[in-house]
Structure 1
Amino acid sequence: MVLGAGVYQVPLIKQAKSMGIETLVVSVPGNYPGFAFGDKIYYEDTRDYEKILEIARNEQIDGIVTTGTDVAVVTIGKVCDALGLSGLSFEAGKTATDKMLMKQKYEEYGVRTARYRRISLMGAEKEKQQDSHSRFENQDKDSKFIEYLEKELEGLQFPLIFKAVDTSGSRGIVKAEDSSKFVEAYRAVRENTRKDYFIVEEFLEGEEFGAQSFVCRGEVQFILPHGDYVFQGDTGVPIGHWAPYELEQSVIEDAKEQLQKAVKAMGLDNCALNADFILSGGKPYVLEIGGRAGATCLTELVSLYYGYNYYEKIIQAALGLPVDFASEKACPNVGMLLRSENTGVIQEIVNRNDREDKQIVEIQFDYQVGDEVQAFRVGPHRIGHVVVQADTLEEAKHKMEEALGNIEVWVSIP
């Protein structure tokens, strides 16, 4: 069973079918490309774990998996626990998809991470409602609410990051340079969360990087640090990645240690890991870890770097089969999202790249001429991607610049 039918689940579905596996695709109704490839389709909300468990029991599935999204991770844990399947547990799934629970575990197990505060939405709303007819009619009248948050956040240093605890794709995450941004940040969180709380943490100044990894039968199988290209909107949004990532060996070993401690703290096992770090003051801090493979071409990054099909490994692990992650290959590669600066309708797509160029692994367009697209602000606004490889990282980055320069997507502005 594959949870999700979006662009990041399509390669997973195709790989399962190529392995001769009957594939059930579950997603809410919509124009999702994965529906075209599943053997069976169920139009259900992947967050409804009781309903998904019922389907899984009826279908007698042998494995359940997703990639590129946090939405379905709790459901995977629920089904794995109930049916004795290979995968992360229900409790680990809840921790991996709630930044508040994650932070609590990190503190408990001594994982190096940013200082934070838990803020109750109910408490914040109470402050707003008490003065809703006077102080909150315009920006100048938000002072009482700002004072409330300042008191709650006392001891933390600016800049701060407001975070919805149950979202992915950078939704509901806003940076506040000072208290004047509190009202805006709070509204963004409130509009994107289903929880009755959120967190605010210190924004660590430094260099962000990520790591892909896999934990199987309690052992971390590999750790691949990667560089991140980041779009600066309300907060940093990943738009691309590259490997290998140049770090001092001492920093890499420290990052591995922090990752292993975080995995133990969260109780993660038999799943892919998508980790975000920031190098601040010469030390790696764990921002968060997801219990699934990363999006934004990260599964392709692992496959190219190690020379095996990472989607196949993910599926084998989900089926409880033996999995060998050993590799002596290290192929430099770069993946980048295609994005639109404007919201509008695609008028023309031009790709002047040579289809025979072996360094260009894949160019994918998610939309066609006549489709409406969004101005890029968060990950799901992508309109496609490009993946390249080369003998050296410098060559791969140069090839990416060249490939992107040969692509034009014309979008009309309403």
Structure 2
Amino acid sequence: MTPTAIPPRKAPADEPPALVFVESNTTGTGMIALDSAREAGLRPVLLTADPARYQGLDATGATVVRCDTNTFAELAAAVHALPGDLAGVTTTSDFYVALAAELAASLGLPGNPPDAVRACRDKARTRELLREAGLPQPRFAAVCTPEATAAAVVSVGLPCVVKPVGGSGSELVRLCGAVEQAEQAVRAILGVTTNVRGQRVEPVALVEAFLDGPEFSVEMFSRGGEACCVGVTRKSVTSGDHCVETRHIYPAPVPEADHAWLADYAGRVLGVLGITTGPTHLEVRLTSRGPELVEINPRLAGGMIPELVRLADGRDLLRGQLDAATGRSVDLSAVRRRCAGVAFLLPPGPGTVVRVTGVEDAEALPGVVRVIVGATPGRSVRSARDAYDRLGSVIACGADAAEVDAVLDKAIGLIGIELAS
């Protein structure tokens, strides 16, 4: 799709050039990114359909422009009406990476080719391109009806993973051990017509072979079409039907040969998909056959991983994203070598939160950097099915992964979440 052209801008104002954000994520780096833009000498502008979605937005001092952010023409008109110079366009939201790339391309600003971003966001298209290139990945089949599920399962084998082609946060992702489970999962996916941002959802589900092996994420950063590996994160997920991420450790304690293997594979994936600029987050399992892609995200990692990188290495990936989006030089030099990790608080079951205990004790532990709890009394919770069910997190630092794991274990053990049925 060729981006709609936007007329050339005039730039009279004496204020800093604007960095436009097309929406934002609602946790993690969302509001931090707006602050970081201002600290970088830029004027942060948030285009949003609903400013009330963002807690802490007023404190960022960002210019807020309300418009239909699901429509390119509305975004283009909003940007063209902005006063002053425009430095770049970016986003911290999964749901808007393609629109942001299209907008940047239409303005001749730095960014990834829109088709490359769309290929990353469409998990079925990602699989097709990797298959054409001959890169290792799980067996897969795309299905558009529940009736096609059985044949898909036969082609990929059991157990299998069923997922939406454009989801986020592991929502509606399910590990299935039987055809009946897979059909149920496909029906759930095809029953959703719009996502949480009101965008149309493709009526397609992916059925993939389950990859057996440890899971990692490879944090990559591209400049001028050249991709470098920032580092590798060890990921832990829940067992059972719903694979919810419970812990990240950075850098992953893996042999150098495995690190190089993962980094090389990630670089080849980016080359196939056509990513040229900024951060990408690839989730990969290291199988007996080698690295195989779980999924790719054309954005910074979520799950507090950029903060772990900052704590462990001193590298600011969020600032790197903003610099890349505005055509500035990007410095990703490591200034220290430590280890950092995050463990997530999960509901002990379904119910209503009565109280949370032990937070101050956990905060007082040596090595604990931060404890965040979102499990406020009165909140209804369920057993965790995706990332949106997590109730908080503990971040810790240490000399190595073993030390960080021990601190996180102790801190999580001190925090109690009491529920009423």
> TM-score, normalised on structure 2?
0.84
What residue is the counterpart of 2:120 in the other structure? 96
Distance 1:197 1:377, change over 3 A: closer
> Contact 1:111 / 1:286 at 8 angstroms: preserved in 2?
no
- The 5 A counterparts of 1:124-273 are 124=146, 145=147, 148-192=148-192, 194-273=201-280
- The 5 A counterparts of 1:326-337 are 326-337=333-344
* 1:2-55: CA deviation from partner (whole Å, max 9, x where unpaired): 321501212222322333432222344344314333522244564433322322
1:35 aligned to 37, 49, 57, which one? 57
Deviation at 1:211, TM superposition (A): 1.4
SS in 2 for 1:335: strand
> For residues 308 and 340 of structure 1, what CA distance do their matches in structure 2 show?
32
Deviation at 1:305, TM superposition (A): 2.2
What residue is the counterpart of 2:33 in the other structure? 12
Deviation at 1:62, TM superposition (A): 1.9
> Contact 1:242 / 1:334 at 8 angstroms: preserved in 2?
yes
Deviation at 1:260, TM superposition (A): 1.1
> Contact 1:114 / 1:202 at 8 angstroms: preserved in 2?
yes
2:326 aligned to 319, 342, 360, which one? 319
> Contact 1:222 / 1:325 at 8 angstroms: preserved in 2?
no
Percent identity of equivalent pairs: 20
Distance 1:359 1:383, change over 3 A: same
- The 5 A counterparts of 1:334-373 are 334-350=341-357, 351-353=359-361, 359-366=367-374, 368-373=376-381
Deviation at 1:264, TM superposition (A): 0.8
Question: In the alignment, residue 57 of structure 1 is paired with which amino acid?
Answer: H
Structural RMSD (CA): 2.4
What residue is the counterpart of 1:135 in the other structure? none
> For residues 378 and 151 of structure 2, what CA distance do their matches in structure 1 show?
50
Deviation at 1:150, TM superposition (A): 2.7
> For residues 337 and 28 of structure 1, what CA distance do their matches in structure 2 show?
30
Instruction: Give the number of equivalent residue pairs.
Output: 388
> For residues 312 and 133 of structure 2, what CA distance do their matches in structure 1 show?
32
SS in 1 for 2:399: coil
> For residues 108 and 323 of structure 1, what CA distance do their matches in structure 2 show?
33
Distance 1:32 1:349, change over 3 A: farther
Distance 1:354 1:364, change over 3 A: closer
Deviation at 1:225, TM superposition (A): 1.0
> For residues 78 and 304 of structure 1, what CA distance do their matches in structure 2 show?
33
What residue is the counterpart of 2:387 in the other structure? 379
Distance 1:50 1:96, change over 3 A: farther
Give the gaps of 5 or more residues in structure 2. 1-19, 194-200
Q: Check if 1:399 corresponds to 2:407.
A: yes
Distance 1:48 1:244, change over 3 A: same
Distance 1:44 1:35, change over 3 A: farther
> Contact 1:174 / 1:188 at 8 angstroms: preserved in 2?
no
SS in 2 for 1:200: strand
SS in 2 for 1:235: coil
> For residues 191 and 4 of structure 1, what CA distance do their matches in structure 2 show?
26
Q: Which moves more between the two structures, 198-207 or 39-48?
A: 39-48
Deviation at 1:328, TM superposition (A): 5.0
Deviation at 1:344, TM superposition (A): 4.6
SS in 1 for 2:117: helix
1:65 aligned to 90, 107, 123, which one? 90
SS in 2 for 1:232: coil
Give the gaps of 5 or more residues in structure 1. 125-144
> For residues 383 and 44 of structure 1, what CA distance do their matches in structure 2 show?
31
Question: In the alignment, residue 144 of structure 2 is paired with which amino acid?
Answer: S
